Structure 1
């Protein structure tokens, strides 16, 4: 999600040892695969797992984005780099789809164009891409907070709790703020670029930044810490009815949902710490993590098209079709990455490929 495959270097912060960067990329790989699972047909067969993953999927993504955030660069340099890293692929990809739509369904031009600039999950042809402009907003706001506020003090904790406390009130308003009707007749939710999600995402973004050193030195001290995290997650969902779906503006009960998300983040860090010691798994997850931008953008349309095609061609069980389709979504996205990196014009709009190519990847 950053300009470079090395997120610390992209943020202008000191580069930790390579093994620690690999651990972060493994965690990011797990995170993006959870995103793929949440948008796949496979989740219909594992609703209990889908419900658990929903508790921390987006908070984990945001937490990892905040790890290496920095305000050390001049503002305009920072803004230019983040705009190119996040908004260039967003507008190029959706703009290309808009151009194709002009050829095949010109009657839907208005809703599609408005949806791109509104930028929420319901208004986009590729719903997961709402995260890119929202992350751009998040980085911009966090820059000023990191630079000018005493956010690491007790005042920062109070402000974080206050932000979480106002989340239900904000969502009560924006969940029913239907400004745009999409091409398939759905009504949009939320503010442009999901601005109304900031009370939640900003808290986990800054939490990631505050935990940078702890994450870089992360290890599982004892088996009962992950067990405790699993317990908190299960109790939050089963006993207190925690529900998290930020795309639908659901984060309730707010403190319970925050605890569930934090427990899920710790659990995924523990999983990454273990998997990082398994060479083949570590390599695959690292590759997914360093190319998470491409998986985020392309997995959903590929998975949907492949699933529809396989349904017509193969007389096999729906579960097998779902597994094949999700695998195609992941591998197809990585294949597109390897095509894009070799075409200078395309790679300019996906700047992460430039940095990785310069590093010889």
Structure 2
């Protein structure tokens, strides 16, 4: 059963991710601050959905169907045009798919999250189910999480792992960072494990003005201590106590905002829908937002902020529209969604998908040959 509160939080999170990829807002002070929170919250929510009843092998297969399959489909759908336009080569395309995207396939760069999340699920499930992480003593859990966070920040500070200038690469398929963004795995695993441990807290989180004020003040204070005043460039990553607290305070703030918006019926249903269709928004928002922004800029050439807002809203609406169309067609849905999810919809009472024959149970006493 889906948890409505988590859908709303995830909906707000994916909306802010699209905001961060907007050509107008991506360099704003607000986006710079949100960039310290968005991805940690995404992994936190993913951890809340960890199914500990599945075996590790079954979980890997299930998540490959849910995460790796849509990534490969998106890469291969665009491949013919990209090859034709000279944006990539067969060697670079192969290396990019095998490396999970990222800087290898810049035209689907936002989809690095899908392939990286598969590895986070693999590590998180192993720790929770096989390693019995929840049975460790509280001090040991805290020390382990702090150690992972420090290791992750240390790896992120090693620019040779991820920031090789393209001018130094003899071919597009040359080394462009750690495959699957695995240098970020320790940090993201921390938030994933916290989400798994805090699922009940996330589900029952309630809005209050004082909670919003307190979490917002704490986020602003820790952000300033870790990165300087808002508007100044973010400093080099360092495993300081403040850099640990910034995303935690920011997540508390955004979850509180989401629970507050849940009291507004129109926003509640819209955010929940974005949460349910967050995969499709992640897959399609980048090209749709770029195209929408260009079209709105042609119509309103002197209003960049308005064009940015309209492009942001248009990409969300169009992504939701595509999600609706895809869900209605069984064979198309199989390209994007986990097979178990498509089959569940196929057999749901009262649901008829194009191209499928409805199942009519035999009458009592009847039998088939």
Asked if Structure 1 and Structure 2 have the same fold, meaning a TM-score greater than 0.5 normalized by the shorter chain, the answer is yes
1:293 and 1:307 mapped to 2: Cα distance?
A: 21
Moved more, 288-297 or 228-237: 228-237
Give 2:289's match in structure 1, choosing from 294, 297, 303: 303
Superposed displacement of residue 178, structure 1: 5.6
Q: Which residues in structure 2 correspond to 1:1-361 (within 5 Å)?
A: 6=1, 21-44=3-26, 47-105=28-86, 108-124=89-105, 125-152=107-134, 153=137, 154-173=139-158, 175-177=160-162, 181=166, 190-220=177-207, 222-241=208-227, 251-351=237-337, 354=342, 357-358=345-346
Deviations 1:80-109 (A, max 9, x none): 111100011010111111133233337633
Contact 2:206/2:256, CA 8 A, preserved across alignment: yes
Q: Deviations over 1:143-178 (max 9, x none)?
A: 110112242323222111111122232123355446
- Native 8 Å contact 1:294 1:337 kept in 2: yes
CA offset at residue 328 of structure 1? 1.5
CA–CA separation in structure 2 for the residues paired with 1:56 and 1:187: 31
Distance 1:175 1:210, change over 3 A: farther
- Show CA shifts across 1:194-218 (max 9, x none): 1111111000000011111112222
Alpha-carbon distance in 2 for matches of 1:342, 1:173: 46
Aligned partner of residue 150 in structure 2, secondary structure? helix
1:25–1:285 CA contact under 8 A, matched in 2: yes
The count of corresponding residues between Structure 1 and Structure 2 is 338
Residues 96, 173 of structure 2: 8 Å contact kept:
no
2:116–2:180 Cα contact (<8 Å) kept: yes
**Gaps spanning 5+ residues in structure 2: where?**
353-369
The answer to whether the 8 A contact 1:180-1:187 is kept is: no
CA RMSD of aligned residues (A): 3.0
CA 27–71 in structure 1, closer or farther in 2 if over 3 Å, else same: same
Q: The residue matched to 2:324 in structure 1 has which SS?
A: helix
Larger radius of gyration: 2
TM-score (norm 2): 0.82
